[in-house]
Structure 1
Amino acid sequence: MSEHHIKPSRFDSAMNATVAWLARRGVSFFGTAELSVVGRKSGEWRRVPVNPLSMNRERYLVSPRGASQWVRNMRAAGGGRLQLGRRRQTFTAVELPEGAEKTEALRAYLDRWGWEVKSYFDGVTAKSSDDELARISPLHPVFRITVTDSAAANDDTVAEAPAAGA
């Protein structure tokens, strides 16, 4: 498990805040949604925009920036919530080990969003060889998510975080 992480610039942080705000209001750009994960230290919900990937009847979250804060929180929490407008989905998450499923998910992610995230993948694209994808795979965590509850959100706030150890 690599701790490689590319910290967002101020511009990227501002854009992420805007995209997350829009996702909470139902506006999605190329499939974005807002991810909420309980902070591993604070116990408070943390929000960030993500591009959920659907592939082979499964859903995945890929971290183009590596072991970002949401990844570290997801590893600790084991799940989170995706929100787009009033639709909120609670899910469990399992981080994929290195292997064929992760390579296939990275290829599909790059095929869909490579134009947006190419600078984080060291020249690797959806058309790169399996060996090239395997080389960068340890730098990009991928989680398979399973929706456990889907409901309409009552407002744009996130519910209270569960108690520590719950």
Structure 2
Amino acid sequence: MTATRYLEPGLATRVSNKMVQQLTKLGVSVWGSRVLMVRGRKSGAVREVPVNLLPFEGKQFLVAPRGETQWVRNLRVAGEGQLRVGNRVQAFTYRELPDDEKPAVLRSYLKRWKFEVGVFFDGVDADAPEAKLRDIAPGYPVFEILAA
């Protein structure tokens, strides 16, 4: 697994994401969904994408199951973003987790959303040994959400 792992979404995923994004904008969070708003690193325009916000051990995390996505790259350059549900908008900064801190968060993420994102984890699930989660960690960016 490399740090440049990226799985581009297909048509079905893009359509599904649009529906989740619209519901979330209307105030209906689908299993913890939020609309991530972050400035584009090239255009400067605000980009929006639905994400799953993971509450874990009193903190909140964003996990990128598809790897080095556009939203990951944009967030790294912008250094901040906003999470939206309905009219509620939470501005945030973040701390990107180093690989050795990711296994527990990845396990929790898989417990909660395996039905939705399991296909992106190549057979690794929440019951995987710690060593396996450490092996795949470099391919899955994880961000701890911090208050802005």
Q: How far has the Cα of 1:147 moved from its partner?
A: 2.3
Unaligned runs of 5+ in 1: 149-166
Structure 1 position 108 matched with structure 2 position 143: no
Structure 1 position 141 matched with structure 2 position 145: no
How many residues are aligned here? 147
Q: Which residue of 1 aligns with 2:79?
A: 78
* Contact 1:78–1:94 (Cα < 8 Å) also in 2: no
Instruction: Give the root-mean-square deviation of aligned CA atoms.
Output: 1.0
Q: Which residue of 1 aligns with 2:18?
A: 17
Q: In the aligned structure 2, how far is the partner of 1:147 from the partner of 1:13?
A: 29
Q: How far has the Cα of 1:118 moved from its partner?
A: 0.5
Q: Which residue of 1 aligns with 2:70?
A: 69
**Higher Cα radius of gyration:** 1
Q: In the aligned structure 2, how far is the partner of 1:83 from the partner of 1:147?
A: 14
Structure 1 or 2: larger helix share?
2
Q: Which residue of 2 aligns with 1:164?
A: none
Cα offsets for 1:101-131 (capped at 9, x unmatched): 3111101100100111010001111110001
Q: Which residue of 2 aligns with 1:130?
A: 130
Q: Please state whether the residue corresponding to 1:51 is helix, strand or coil.
A: strand
* Contact 1:35–1:83 (Cα < 8 Å) also in 2: yes
Q: TM-score w.r.t. structure 1 length?
A: 0.86
Q: Please state whether the residue corresponding to 2:20 is helix, strand or coil.
A: helix
Q: In the aligned structure 1, how far is the partner of 2:94 from the partner of 2:17?
A: 22
- Write the letter of the residue equivalent to 1:48: V
Q: Which residue of 1 aligns with 2:7?
A: 6
Q: Which residue of 2 aligns with 1:119?
A: 119
Unaligned runs of 5+ in 2: none
* Contact 1:79–1:91 (Cα < 8 Å) also in 2: yes
- Write the letter of the residue equivalent to 1:114: K
